[in-house]
Structure 1
Amino acid sequence: MRLLTGSARLAGVIGWPVAHSRSPRIHSTWLNRHGIDGAYVPLPVAPENFTNVVRALAQAGFAGANVTIPHKEAAFAVCDKVDETAHRAGAVNTLVFTPQGIEGRNTDGYGFVANLRAHGVNPAAGPVLILGAGGAARAIAAALQDEGAAVTICNRSPERAETLAAALPPARVLPWEQRAAALGDYALLVNTTSLGMVHNPPLKMPLEKAAPGLAVADIVYAPLQTALLAEAEARGVKAVEGLGMLLHQAVPGFAAWFGVMPQVDEELYRIVAA
């Protein structure tokens, strides 16, 4: 059994609510695997207390924290320094506490691209159609652009799609009602919406006009196989599930806080999926 000492390194995940988060399971698995004197804990923090709590954690000796809904934009504001990934994503999901202050990063795009590669998908294989225009869409679009892919944004609210495309030139916009008909023009389809998530309506996205070699990625991981991914597999289309993105996005934070570069493998996947 691993016992903490007075020198233990501490990190956690800040959210409201946060009980649903699978991040403690991810990081605890790595801490146990590497025998690290440390802990990673869930931190339920109401929005009005966020800034004070983050600063208190830094002063209390925490190494850092992940940030989840609804705090990612507030996290951007509380940082003393924000790296290029967070600037491009417009949000922070990883805080690193240093002697120089609070440093903000965004690892969502990194996690998405790493998950694509783990499934044998080249992120720069061709044009990408992203469904959704929220924070996850922006982080993923920015990461794919950095890989050299041409990105098109398609959202139920055209105004939000236009705003996101303007923030990440030369991204294009496709009207929501044209998403299925235009699918033959793309090498990768990405669902960043909440459609298909547990308790939400399914995503209606026919794949009849998919181009040969299309890959379909869904960042939803509850359920592990969404209706979109099930249809992709039924048509022989490469399907990339969302849990892998969650696992891979945790890697840079763990390395920064605990000093070890962890591995995403089948054992971790089984533990977190359970």
Structure 2
Amino acid sequence: MINGRTRIAGVIGAPVSHSLSPLLMNSWIAAAGLDAAYVPFPARADFSGSGLRALSQSGLAGLNVTLPFKTLAAKNADIRSAGVAVTGAANLLIFSNGKIEARNTDIDGILHALSRAGQSFKGKSVLVLGAGGVARAACAAARQGAASKLAISNRTWSRADDLAAVFDAISVNWAERQDAAEAADIVINATSLGMDGLSSPEIDFTRCPAGMVVFDTVYTPIRRPFMETARAASLIAIDGLSMLIGQARPSFEALYEAPVPESMDADRLLRKALAHDHL
């Protein structure tokens, strides 16, 4: 039961109803026996820096940040980690002593997901689809992981150009993303396409080389065209659940100042929840 001593954190986004973070974090909290809670904060799309500042003064321990507020979170922080500095995006805010500290654990999440699948960026040609906060984390992870080549494609080409300049990458016209995908070793969907269960970046994976890694940063709903078509083409498909768990671990430890309880199978918990929602 929540009381005056309960340590409270949460996740903010627009929308946030799809997020599995409350289920994951509260399950970890219960397993660790903490007097704590993790709650969703649905916000309007025009949520501003002043609103963020007000939340930082509310007694919350901090917030995870999801679409579309990751760049807003980075801009309004008093302290920024190296990951935030290089990406211009934050998915974790720590509130302490009247200050907002911004971190980017999405980079950790992407590297965790690849490693768990027995893959890495080292020496690989990478295509990132998107130019928002998640795409920035994907580019940073690719560079940190020693990718040999990095290309970025976005529906608004100028945004891809801007991001390419930051990460010494190649900007690809959205209309030419198929050719870029066929030349890549790893393709990452860092757009919101797929969250409705219907839309997709529309890559024809049957034309892509065997052994390609297809990484979808989206994790809900459980069935999405981007992942379904990659699996049908017998490619290595990595979904966003592994990334979610990988970024959530350092978030939990920062927000609750406690280690993640290893007794709980986070992947099984989340996949069961997604399968139930699909019924």
Q: C-alpha deviations, 1:145-176, integer Å up to 9, x for none?
A: 111113111223322211110122x2112333
Alignment of 1:34-183 (within 5 A): 34-46=32-44, 50-99=48-97, 101-149=99-147, 150-168=149-167, 170-183=168-181
How far has the Cα of 1:47 moved from its partner?
Answer: 5.9
Alpha-carbon separation, structure 1, partners of 2:53 and 2:199: 39
**138-147 or 91-100, which deviates more:** 91-100
Aligned to 1:270: 271
Change (3 A) 1:185 1:17: closer
Give, in angstroms, the shift of residue 180 of structure 1.
2.5
TM-score normalised to structure 2 length: 0.86
* Structure 2 contact 227–239 (Cα < 8 Å) conserved: yes
Residues 1:65 and 1:237: Cα distance change in structure 2 (over 3 Å): same
* Distance change >3 Å, CA 80–CA 259, structure 1 → 2: same
Percent of aligned pairs with the same amino acid: 37
Which residue of the partner structure matches residue 22 of structure 1?
A: 20
Secondary structure at the counterpart of residue 130 of structure 1: strand
Relative to structure 1, the CA distance from residue 145 to residue 79 in structure 2 (aligned partners, 3 Å threshold; closer, same or farther) is same
Does the residue aligned with 2:237 lie in a helix, a strand or coil?
Answer: strand
Q: TM-score, normalised by structure 1?
A: 0.88
Question: What is the Cα deviation at residue 30 of structure 1?
Answer: 0.6
Q: More displaced, 188-197 or 88-97?
A: 188-197
Find the counterpart in structure 2 of residue 218 from structure 1. 216
Does the C-alpha gap of structure 1 residues 186 and 49 become closer, same or farther in structure 2, counting only changes over 3 Å?
closer
Question: How many pairs were matched up?
Answer: 271
For the 8 Å contact 1:224–1:242, the answer to whether it is kept is no
| Correspondence for 2:205 among 199, 204, 207 | 207
Separation in structure 1 between the aligned mates of residue 30 and residue 60 of structure 2, nearest angstrom: 19
Determine the C-alpha separation between the residues in 2 that align with 1:49 and 1:206.
37
Between stretches 16-25 and 147-156, larger displacement belongs to 16-25
**Is the 1:107–1:249 Cα contact (8 Å) retained in structure 2?**
yes
| Structure 2 portions without partners, runs of 5+ | none
**Contact (CA 8 Å) 2:57, 2:98: kept in 1 or not?**
no
The AA in structure 2 aligned to 1:74 is L
